[in-house]
Amino acid sequence: MKTTLQATGFVSLLFCAMAVHAETPYINLTVGGEVSPGVYGRVQIGNAPPPPVVYAQPMIAVRQPEADSMEPIYLNVPPGHARNWARHCREYDACNRPVYFVRSAEYEPGYRGRGDNYRDEDRGGDRRRDEGRGDEGYRGEGRGGEERRGEGRGGDRD
């Protein structure tokens, strides 16, 4: 009897937890300002002129009769999402809307990012990880030293 009550209590607690999770609200966040590399989503242009776009005509993934009368939206998406828009439109809640894809500098040839994580030929390459170790890149003998060299991968089998 006690285990039946415990099992019933556990199951009801589980259903309550699932109901709370099902009512979690969807939050849509819009970031204003310049289009930033790595930040994707809807671009609010307000009264500003339209930004440069990838395609001249807006794309509509799922054509519906009212889609032609809707005002187009501007989205900043990765190039793969723009090329396969029908596959990715649900992520942006824009399958039945005309969409312009904003051209982003991070996908242009010659874009170098913020400058923190790239090789700079003027500095002789990226040698920062070796600086200050005191071993000048010497890797040591490894596990067990020279007496174990040659063991492994079946080289010593008869």
Query: What is the count of structural domains for the chain?
Result: 1
47 is a domain residue:
yes
pLDDT beyond 50 at 24: no
55 is a domain residue:
yes
132 is a domain residue:
no
70 is a domain residue:
yes
- What SS3 state is found at 124? coil
64 is a domain residue:
yes
C-alpha distances in Å from residue 104, one per residue of 54, 79, 86, 101, 154: 9, 9, 21, 9, 53
Closest to 44 in 3D by CA, of 75, 87, 23, 22: 75
Q: How many angstroms separate the first and last alpha carbons of the chain?
A: 66
49 is a domain residue:
yes
pLDDT per position as a tens digit, 77-107: 888 898 999 999 999 888 888 899 888 776 6
90 is a domain residue:
yes
Rounded to whole angstroms, how far apart are CA atoms 76 and 31? 11
The residue range of the domain holding 38 is: 30-107
Rounded to whole angstroms, how far apart are CA atoms 72 and 84? 18
Mean per-residue pLDDT of the chain: 67
Rounded to whole angstroms, how far apart are CA atoms 63 and 70? 11
125 is a domain residue:
no
Q: What is the DSSP letter of 97?
A: S
pLDDT per position as a tens digit, 56-85: 888 777 766 665 577 888 898 888 898 999
Rounded to whole angstroms, how far apart are CA atoms 98 and 68? 7
